[in-house]
Amino acid sequence: MDKDEYSTDESVGKRKNTEDIESFFTKSKRTQRTPTKVQKPEEGKIDLILRMITDMKTDQKEMRKEVHQIRDMKTDQKEMRKEVHQIREEQRAIHEELKKVREENQ
């Protein structure tokens, strides 16, 4: 056996085999030093709530995009109404001019 495999306990003065010390910790599998983590039902509920919150956030983002699109459509509609009003005014003016020209020709 090598010198490396032994350690000296200075208080006693006897040599102990380090393999025995290491095997002592590996062999005792009966008692666990920390309890195993078991998922609690509350954690499942929390995960479900978190998932629901993230889903609601994505839905909210989509709804905001839709609201912006609707606002853009409303502004486009207002512009189109103005254009239609201008075209109608031009059409009335042309129609009046046409009436005058017809009256002059008769």
Tell me the C-alpha distance between 43 and 47, whole Å: 6
Q: How much is the pTM? A: 0.43
Q: Where does 1-106 have alpha helices with state H?
A: 18-27, 41-105
Q: How far apart are CA 43 and CA 41, in angstroms?
A: 5
CA distances to 10, 62, 104 from 56, rounded to whole Å, are 67, 10, 71
Is the pLDDT score of 6 beyond 70?
Answer: no
Evaluate if residue 41 carries a pLDDT over 90: no
Least confident of 30-39, 57-66, 84-93: 30-39
N- to C-terminal Cα distance for the chain? Answer: 135
**Confidence category of residue 21, pLDDT binned at 50, 70, 90:** low
What is the domain partition of the chain in residue ranges?
A: 1-31, 55-106
The two structure tokens encoding residue 89: 């005014």
Q: Is residue 76 classed as helix, strand or coil in its secondary structure? A: helix
Q: What is the pLDDT of residue 59?
A: 95
Q: 37: helix, coil or strand?
A: coil
